[in-house]
Amino acid sequence: MSGSLTFIEPTEEHAELLLGWRTRPDIASQMLSVVPYDVERQKAWLRRCAERNDYVHRLLCVDGVPAGHVSITVTEPEWRIATFGVLMGERAGRMGAAPLNFAYMLNHVFFTMGLRKVVNHIMGTNSPRLLKGQPMIGYRPVGVLKRQVVKDGQEIDLHVFEMLAEDWLTVRDRFRVYEDMDGREWR
């Protein structure tokens, strides 16, 4: 696999880059939220994110160049459950080692943050390869919420996947990634 993978914390200097990705039609169509093109609003969002203790996000970099944005949101603090957000803004984010971003994120959520479960929601309009790949990573398909999301007048299925910390422990050796998003090693 080519390309070294690193993660950096986004700052206000990244506002235009992130906003460009988040409002690009091919990416925005796969997002559950709608983001207006407003750089000042994006900067304010980045400032609020930096103050949150239930949200961790990073720019995924390939060979030092930002290629995507990944996030972990704690949805149920008492139950120690989170969800992931991933967007790949550049082609480099979908090639080489970059698709292994999930391994760094899973190490981060289970080891660094000490959570016990991840529940992800993926729109049915995403790549069939993405949906089929979830069980290969170790996610258990929970089900499909039929016509759950309405975007631009189109009703879209929402696929739900989950993984427990012990599930990750049983499969992570096959990916050979033991670092979290901040470079800490968890063996």
What residue segments make up the domains of the chain, in order of their start?
Answer: 5-174
B/e letters for 84-96, b = 16+ CB within 10 Å, e = fewer, are bbbbbbbebbeee
Q: Are 117 and 81 in contact (CB under 8 A)?
A: yes
Question: What does each of the 187 residues of the chain score in pLDDT, given as a tens digit?
Answer: 456 899 999 999 999 999 999 999 999 888 888 899 999 999 999 999 999 999 999 999 999 999 999 999 999 999 999 999 999 998 877 776 667 899 999 999 999 999 999 999 999 998 888 899 999 999 999 999 999 999 989 999 999 999 999 999 999 999 999 999 999 999 9
Amino acid at 163: M
Its pTM stands at: 0.93
**CA–CA gap between residue 108 and residue 63 (Å, rounded):** 21
Helix (H, G, I), strand (E, B) or coil at 65: strand
Helix (H, G, I), strand (E, B) or coil at 104: helix
The CATH architecture assigned to 5-174 reads 3-Layer(aba) Sandwich (3.40)
